[in-house]
Amino acid sequence: MIDIHCHILPGMDDGPKHIEESVEMAENAVSQGINTIIATPHHLNGSYDNYKPDIITAVAQLNDRLQADNIPLTILPGQETRINGEFVTDLENNQLLPLNETSSYLLVELPANHVPRYTKQLLFDLQLQNIKPIIVHPERNKEIIENPNILYDLSVMAA
């Protein structure tokens, strides 16, 4: 089984603070049948900025530790990036990190209180770049909670 959205990297966001906590999370994941995790720390959400090179380095370090501890789990790089007006430019400049670095899937986080007016256009523009946006945690967005048709409209547009 593969977990495609996990905050397992130590000290990067609201996930584990230390590598020991990451190792404990890894052991728990393995005990539940997970053999691969895509580490997706928050990026540009107002609290955390986790850039692609830093994530790749942290993934390599955690994989080294898991291998040394004989924990049969592979960590792959990813990123949970807050939607913003520079999203497509950052993608074109190789600053955003799709799932497993090479896939065409990219996690997109909306703000908690609203859906920005440019969301539909941005999702469309990402698809023009052959990127499949995955909206993470829509259930946490106040505007979507109040009007679930917003999410439906975004998903229909993306199909």
Alpha-carbon distance of 16 to 148, in angstroms, equals 32
Tally of CA atoms within 13 A in the half-sphere of 80 that contains its CB: 25
Alpha carbon 132 to its chain's center? 13
Phi-psi group of 50: left, alpha or beta (phi > 0 → left; psi -120 to 50 → alpha; rest → beta):
beta
pLDDT in tens, 55-72: 999 999 999 999 999 999
Q: What is the CATH number of the domain that holds 106?
A: 3.20.20.140
Q: What are phi and psi of 74, to 5 degrees?
A: -110, 130
pLDDT at 40 over 90: yes
Residue numbers of the domain that contains 7: 2-158
Do 48 and 12 meet the contact criterion of CB atoms below 8 Å apart? yes
pLDDT at 25: 98
Task: Read off the pLDDT of each residue in 44-58 and give the average, rounded to a whole number.
Answer: 96
Q: How many domains is the chain built from?
A: 1
Whole-model pTM: value is: 0.92
pLDDT at 112 over 80: yes
- Beta bridge pairs of residue 42: 80
pLDDT at 155: 84
Mean pLDDT computed over every residue of the chain: 95
